[in-house]
Structure 1
Amino acid sequence: MSGVNALQWLTMTRHGESTGNVAYRAVEGTDAEEAGITERDADVPLTDTGRAQAAALGRWLADLPEDERPTLVVSSPYVRALETARIALAQTPYADPRDPAGLRPKVDERLRDREQGILQGLTALGVERRFPEEAARLRRLGKFYYRPPGGESWADLALRLRSFYRDLEAAAPDGRVLIVAHDAIVVMTRYLVEELTEKEVMEVEKEMVPNASVTRWRRDGQGLKAVCYNDTAHLVGAGVAPS
């Protein structure tokens, strides 16, 4: 992927803990068919813990060597991601809001979370009970290519991210970019950057991407090389590591 290989650093983080994350954990292992989230997905906010995680992320950013600090920050437009980006940047000296040249997050809708369509807000049990034909179609097609009605497949997500990264090359040649988004965006960026297969990326997807964790790649020769994946050391030190 030439778009990302032109970067010096690509750093990604998932948003801090959201009220949606808490809602899904609360119904895990129960007979609930819905998570009980009242907001539309784009409006789900951070919890107090999520805001603390974002601040810890910001302190980690502030401590980076100068040649690793982001020169561009791009966020999903969803509230939980953009709030994470703003809180994190507020902790850094190079994002002083009083400075007209200070770093501010830009928004790109291609970084939004994967759209679930008619399955939005349902638990796995809820999908089986309310849409058994869709559950069967998912098993037949596999997670990567299955597209719920009104939603997106993982392959669809890869297509919009290819477009995003092509544009990023023009916007930030030789740049150091921080992306604040969602777990699916982190996983599918690994798929693109590391040229994984369908089987490989679906294995990666089985491992949870912790809230406010850090994943990084650094340019080495002609391409980006992985530095870390799902690093939460900055959260453990701050006492706000995901449970």
Structure 2
Amino acid sequence: MKLPTGDAAASVRPCAHGENVGPAALLYAVRHGQSTVNAGIRPATPAEADDMRIELTELGRGQAAAFGRWLASRPAARRPELVLCSPYLRAVTTWHLAAAEFGPTGVDLPCLEVHDLLYDRYRGERSHLSISEVRERFPREFAAEQADPLGFRPPGGESFHDVARRLGEVAARIERDRRHRSVLIVAHDAVVLMLRRILENLRDDEILAIAEDGLAGNASVTTWERDERGFRLTSYDERAHLA
């Protein structure tokens, strides 16, 4: 698999929002709906094993639609004006299914940018192996990752610190934006976790404590709102809309 490269947008929907409305005051991040890999379904072909092409399950598609209904029902000031979406199929599908729920409500869709830095943590040569398989086949690598969970880089892949570095460019893009007061990121659990590191200026031990308690669930929503010091977390891994 070739890693996505480039500085920003892989796909942009023309924006009709005016300039100089100020920086974004509201930021959401949603993890994609349940994927086949999340459900423990083993890929049957090399194409199905390609991380960029992993699809949603029927449950995941329902989760994406439920998220869309929740989003469309929000007050106008609480709906996103811009969506930044991972280029991976499971994330793009999540947004398309969510966006389809806007139609019956008459609510306008936000601008869309498929952003090539929002992909999931790339595990390189170990991309298609489960944690238990890595432990069994590559015990030294497994031990190294256990010793340094955020800094370990699998062969040909990324560490969580690498993910944070590229997401710093996404955060800077949001800071430069003066057209959209509210932004939604559609991506992956590793992206949500490392966004917390960047936006909340968290230490490694704080990030590890969050991960220990549980990563963002499928189609869960995390929310930050801007105050005088920057973005402040107001909810993490919210799933009430999926009930």
Please give the TM-score of this superposition, normalised by the length of structure 2: 0.83
Q: Which whole-Å deviations, capped at 9, do the CAs of 1:112-153 have from their partners, x for residues lacking one?
A: 00001121121222112221221232234x111000011000
> 2:31: which partner in 1?
14
Counterpart pick for 2:206 among 200, 208, 217:
200
What code does the residue aligned with 2:64 have? A
CA shift for structure 1 position 178: 0.5
Query: Does residue 135 of structure 2 align to residue 118 of structure 1?
Result: no
Gaps of 5+ in 2: 1-21
**C-alpha distance 18-198 of structure 1, shift in aligned 2 (>3 A):** same
CA shift for structure 1 position 202: 1.3
> 1:186: which partner in 2?
192
User: How many residues were matched structurally?
Assistant: 218
**C-alpha distance 68-93 of structure 1, shift in aligned 2 (>3 A):** farther
**C-alpha distance 93-67 of structure 1, shift in aligned 2 (>3 A):** farther
Q: Distance in 2 between matches of 1:162 and 1:95?
A: 35
Q: Distance in 1 between matches of 2:145 and 2:36?
A: 27
Query: Does residue 156 of structure 2 align to residue 153 of structure 1?
Result: no
- Mapped contact 2:102–2:109 kept (Cα < 8 A): no
> 1:210: which partner in 2?
217
Structure 1 residues 1-243: aligned runs within 5 Å = 6-23=23-40, 35-36=42-43, 38=45, 39=48, 40-93=50-103, 102-140=109-147, 142-172=148-178, 175-206=181-212, 207-236=214-243
Give the percent of matched residue pairs that are identical in Structure 1 and Structure 2: 40
- Mapped contact 2:72–2:105 kept (Cα < 8 A): no
Q: Distance in 1 between matches of 2:172 and 2:105?
A: 26
- Mapped contact 1:119–1:148 kept (Cα < 8 A): yes
RMSD between superposed Cα atoms in Å: 2.2
- Mapped contact 2:193–2:215 kept (Cα < 8 A): no
Q: Distance in 1 between matches of 2:102 and 2:163?
A: 31
Q: Secondary structure at the match of 2:158?
A: coil
CA shift for structure 1 position 165: 1.3
CA shift for structure 1 position 173: 5.3
Q: Secondary structure at the match of 2:38?
A: helix
Q: Distance in 2 between matches of 1:83 and 1:115?
A: 20
Q: Distance in 2 between matches of 1:170 and 1:82?
A: 24
Q: Distance in 1 between matches of 2:242 and 2:39?
A: 18
Q: Distance in 2 between matches of 1:105 and 1:18?
A: 22
What code does the residue aligned with 2:192 have? V
> 2:6: which partner in 1?
none
**C-alpha distance 135-91 of structure 1, shift in aligned 2 (>3 A):** same
